[in-house]
Structure 1
Amino acid sequence: MQVLNVKTNCSYAADNDPMVLGRIFDEEISVALWCRENQQIVASYFDTVFKRLGMGLRGVFILQSLKAELEASLPSAKGRAEAIDDIFLLSDMLTTLFNCDSVGLRLAPLDAAMCPKLHADNIPVRLVSTYLGEGTQWLPQERLISANALQPNASNTLGTHKHKLAKSLGNVNYLESDIMQMSSFDVGLLKGKAWPEQEKSAALHRSCPVSEGAKRVLLTLDPM
């Protein structure tokens, strides 16, 4: 994903610098996105071992023993060491950022969208990154449309246009064209509903569609 031209009144922060992830602590930010380059050796590894991953890997891991746990769990193939190093790097960054020593880790091989509807997680925060396939999609808070804005009238052609295209999301609406998407290897921090005193700023997101025969490997990390 290319660096976005983020405006002042924006609910997300995106940059090539990993320090951008610290912006998740800003009250107005619901998504902090580190845009980074694809690591082909890691992507090729997960493509090679996709079927051997089975149901994937899920559990709570202490940072100090994480590499050993991954070495015991992930199939052997070229690129495994680099994949383990990257998972450890992201885990280390997350535990440092949130001052904890464990992560709730899920490494999921997917051939279909896991959560195809826009939703907010019932957790404080989650890190997401896609190693293979397309990335997670999200809807910026400022692009939500109130019901009043959809009322068409003779002098408001924009309202009429939105009324025809808008999709309902509870008591608010959105346009499909406003959905944004991470690229593979981008690292996103998404606020959840349990972020202290900021339930309304929870990031609305969904899994991307997965075409028939395609592969997707998703990593999620929760600070524990």
Structure 2
Amino acid sequence: MSSVNVSNESALSCCESNAIHRRLSEGDDPRVLGEIYDVETNIAVWKRTLSEELECAVDLFMDANATTKKVLAVTPDNTHEELVNAFGEARVNKVFSEDVAQLVDMFCCLFDLKRAGLRLTVMDSAICPKFHVDKIPCRMVSTYQGIATEWLPNHLIDRSKLGLGSFGVKDEVSGLMRSLNDIQRLNCGDVALLKGEYWQGNEGAGLVHRSPPISSGVNRLLLTLDFIDF
């Protein structure tokens, strides 16, 4: 048994020494999101706390919408209209839609996009429960209610254990990570940019992340924004 443990530790040490260096950029100023353009940054996080007014608006939205997922093509100017069309006018609070529109505007401006692909999901279970990388240039994520996205630092993982490399076992025992303490988590309200595998020069260093486990009876509201026109 001890020889297996030593072997696993040696493999992870080797992976750490050979890993492409990537880092977290974070701050309480939204301009920190621009640091995603730094070649060594694969996650940029604007740390923010939702206002009491916005929290109330989110509560109203959650009360009016059961577990659901809507995928929309939006611009900063038509976000409210598209949300109303998708969910119904009585179910979309203007405070909430204005905040979503602000994030759409930031995302489109930062990447010079005409539109963004918006996905708004109310869920009671993890939609992507295993750690993975996205084959996209970059994605914005923000959790408005519930437990937020989990991720792993690039230098602390054995990427060969992603996907089929885990042989179907849980991430916690597959050898993907050295310790559960390596798992990092965004906070509710944070706005994060996750750099994917298709960002030029980022092959083999896309951010490894997953949806967090959700306790029974607890719902989560997740917003994601993706490239569609650029």
Same fold (TM over 0.5): yes
Q: Which residue of 1 aligns with 2:187?
A: 183
Pairing 1:1-224 to 2, within 5 Å after superposition: 11-50=23-62, 52-54=64-66, 55-75=68-88, 80-144=93-157, 167-168=173-174, 173-224=177-228
TM-score under structure 2 length normalisation: 0.77
Superposed CA RMSD in Å reads 2.4
Check the 8 A contact 2:62/2:122 in 1, yes or no. Answer: yes
TM superposition shift of 1:10? 5.8
Q: Distance in 2 between matches of 1:99 and 1:125?
A: 13
Distance 1:43 1:209 in 2: 22
Displacement, 1:145? 5.5
Q: In structure 1, how many angstroms separate the alpha carbons of the residues matched to 2:22 and 2:54?
A: 32
Once the two structures are superposed, what CA deviation does each residue of 1:150-184 show, in whole Å capped at 9, x if it has no partner?
A: xxxxxxxxxxxxxxxx7436xx5432111111111
SS in 2 for 1:30: strand
Hey, which of these two has a bigger chunk of helix by percent?
2
Instruction: Tell me by how many angstroms 1:130 deviates.
Output: 0.4
Structure 1 alignment gaps of length 5 or more = 1-8, 148-165
Take 1:71 and 1:179, find their aligned partners in 2: how far apart are those partners?
Answer: 37
Q: Matched residue pairs, number?
A: 197
| AA matched with 1:28 | E
Give the letter aligned to residue 14 of structure 1: E
Amino acid at match of 2:149: T
Deviation at 1:221, TM superposition (A): 0.4
* SS, match of residue 194 in structure 2: strand
For residue 117 of structure 1, report the CA deviation from its aligned partner.
Answer: 0.7
Identity %: 34
| 2:77/2:101 contact within 8 Å kept | no
Unaligned runs of 5+ in 2: 1-20, 161-171
Shift of 1:76: 5.1
Output the CA distance in 2 between the equivalents of 1:213 and 1:43: 19
Paired amino acid for 1:73? A
SS in 1 for 2:133: coil
Name the TM-score, length of structure 1 as normaliser: 0.79
Paired residue secondary structure (2:224): strand
